[in-house]
Structure formats: structure tokens, C-alpha cells
Amino acid sequence: MAVNLLGLLKDQMSDDVVHKVAGFLGENQTNTRSALASAVPSILTGLIQKSSSSQGAVSLFSSLLQGNNADDTFGSLTGLLGGGQATNNLTSSGNNILSTIFGNNVGNIADLIASASGIKKSSSMSLLSLAAPIVMGFLSKHVKQQGVTDAAGFASMLAGQAGFLKGALPTGVTNLLGISNIDALAGKAVSMTSNGGSSVLKKVLPFLPIVAILLLGWWLLKNSGADAAKQTVETVKEAAHEGVVATASAVNALGAFFSMRLPSGVDLNIPEYGIENKLIGFIQDANRPVDKTTWFTFDRLLFETGKATMKPESREQLNNIAEILKAFPAVALKIGGYTDNTGNAAANMQLSQARAESVMNELVALGIDAQRLRAEGYGQEHPVADNGTEDGRAKNRRIDVRVTKK
């Protein structure tokens, strides 16, 4: 018999937890408890839908194994809701999860929860961003405790929750997700497992990074010419000496590629966790105002070592960003360049400025009005990872963008 995960999660929602969350949101405790009781089953239902395909199940299970989620006991909420970087990290993680499982329906899901509970729409969005990583953290611990070792097993575990979710979902969630019958949706995951999906996924999962690299190389060869494909092969060779773990992490971080149609009618082929999807979600969400703290990091932009010259394989993502800006003509961006702390600080500042300007100039060359763009280098300031490790330094060498107008 399936373990009632929804019940276990509800057990964690003590009066103290609800009090902390209500204070964070600026809502009363009664409405906050009601909103949590709607948000958690909605997130679980979104996860069931996502995991009903083998590709979605692999993507979610890989993310779960990375363990980049909040503690499932809810015990760390005091620190996490105190503001500053800890709070930003939690909500940023939550926004990524919500975008993955709900796509462009995040705002509509928040509307339903707000209507069902009496909290404000803005509070509902914040609540979802808070709850999503906590639910994922809980699931991460649970699959380890239960010895779930593959994506299909994870999908089957989620499918077993359908019966517990039926009466807990706010009205309209299944319709928004295109689910006519939650039992039928759960049955898809069970069917995937019973038809051998578990053993197949278990065998395929370790090789997904290699498969993804081969597919990327094929796509570049087909769309960008032999030179770009050759550059990709060289990049893979360079990455190989860093170890398979680094390569797997990069592939898992991007997720599955899918087609998204922009308001302009242009179709983009983008990864679910990539900058394009995050940027579009932010632009289209009227409840996420422009601020000075929300930055998005390019994930497929590469430069020559120590130079501001971009490698050919960067072209695809730059084209995507240009198309997004064309589709949303009111949007303006600030481009930030960053380095690690290796070498001279002044030289790093100069390099970061040159790289930010290089990206801006490329976007202008692709048809974007220069008045909509600003570029600034920050050098080794504002690191996002530990400069004491190679992996950390690689993450700190980046180009970010911030929406300054939409």
C-alpha cells in the first residue's frame, strides 16, 4: 500500500511553521494554513504529471538526487525566511521547480490557491516558491529512505499518491494542467514502470550526459556547420578531464529541451532549466516586478580563455535571447559580466566589462536596439560559488542578465 506523502507533509505543518510562513507572507494564520493545504497537493499533482513521461521522470529524479532543496522537516524555516541570500536562494530554487512542473501556468495555479484560501495573489506566488523546494527536499529524503533507485520507481511512487490528492486539490488545478482524470494520469506512470520502464531508465540514466552531448553535437552539425560541431567536440574533450560528474551536473542542470512558441510566432528549442525559459517566465508573469536582485545566468555561453571573444557554440543561445527581446519589445536588459578571483582584480574587472559589452554588441548585431541594453562588468565581485574549488570558479565566471523594464 502506498505511503500517504501528502499526509506526512501535512504533519510537518505545525502551528509554529504556519506562524512563520504567515509572518513571512504578511497574511493571517488561518488563510495561510488553507493556502498551504492547497499548494502542497497542487505541487504533488504537477510532479505526477511531469513524471508520467519517461523523459520527465528522468529529469525530476536527476534533480532530486542533486539534493538542491530545502530540508524536509521544515525545521530550518526560521533561517530561510529571515531575508537575505538564504531567502533568495530558497525562492529562486522554488521558481525554477515551479517553472519546470507548471510551465506558464504558474500564475494561474497561484490564482486558484489565492481564491481558495483568501490570501493575496502575490502571497500565493511567494508561498508556492517557498513550498516547492521543501516538497522536493521531503521527496529527496523519502526516496533515499525507501531505496528508490531509478526514475520509473520514483514515478510509480508519485502515481500512488493520486487517491490521496483527489479531495485536497483546489478546484480547477487538473483542468489547468490538462488532466481529465488524475487516476488515468497516475496510470500512465504505473504503465511505464510495468512495461519495463524501470529497468530501461535504470540502464539509460548513467549514460544520459553522453547521449545529450552527442545529440547537441548532431544538432550543431545540422544547424551551424562543421566548425561549430568541431568546437563542441573540443569543448567536450576539455570538460572530460574535469570528470564525468561535472558533465552530468551540467546536463542535468539544463533539463530536457522542448519547443516554445513566442508571441512573435517564432519557435525556440530551449531547455526547461535554461535562461531562456526562466527569462520568458519572468517577463510574462505580471506578479513578478522588475527589481535589482533577480538575475538570470547564461548557461550555454562560452568565451576564449582570458578573452572577450565568444566561441561559435554561443551563437545559438544569443539568437534565442535576441528572439525573446524581439517578441517582447518593451523589455530592456542589463548585462553583467563576472570572473573568478584568480589573477589581478583590476584585470578581472576589465575582462568582465569587455565580455559584457561583447554580449551586448552581439545582440545589437542581431537586431536589438542598443537603447534597450546596458553592460557592466563586476569582476570577481558577487561570487555565486566557492572560489576555492575549480567547479566553484567555473560557476563564478559567468554572464548574467537582469530585466530592467518589461
Output the tens digit of pLDDT for each of the chain's 406 residues: 578 888 888 887 788 888 888 888 899 999 999 999 999 999 998 888 888 777 777 778 777 765 555 544 455 655 566 666 666 777 777 888 888 888 878 888 999 999 999 999 889 998 998 888 888 888 888 888 888 877 778 888 888 888 888 778 888 888 887 776 666 655 554 454 444 444 444 444 444 444 444 444 444 444 444 444 444 444 433 333 333 333 334 444 677 778 889 999 998 888 888 899 999 999 999 889 999 999 999 988 888 888 999 888 888 899 999 999 999 999 999 999 999 999 899 999 999 999 999 999 999 999 999 999 999 999 999 998 899 988 888 889 999 999 999 9
- Return the domain boundaries, the chain: 5-203, 256-405
| CATH number for the domain formed by residue range(s) 256-405 | 3.30.1330.60
Which tens digits make up the pLDDT trace of 53-107? Answer: 777 777 787 777 655 555 444 556 555 666 666 667 777 778 888 888 888 788 8
* Long-range CB pairs of 358-367, under 8 A, 24+ apart, other chains included: 358/303, 358/308, 358/309, 358/310, 359/298, 359/301, 359/310, 359/318, 359/335, 359/399, 360/335, 362/310, 362/318, 363/318, 363/321, 363/322, 363/325, 366/318, 366/319, 366/322, 367/322, 367/326
Which tens digits make up the pLDDT trace of 217-264? Answer: 444 444 444 444 444 444 433 333 333 333 334 444 677 778 889 999
| pLDDT at site 135 | 86
Q: Is the entire prediction scored with pTM above 0.75?
A: no
Q: Which amino acid is at 84?
A: G
229's CB contacts (< 8 A; 6+ apart) are 217, 220, 221
**Does residue 92 sit in helix, strand or coil?**
helix
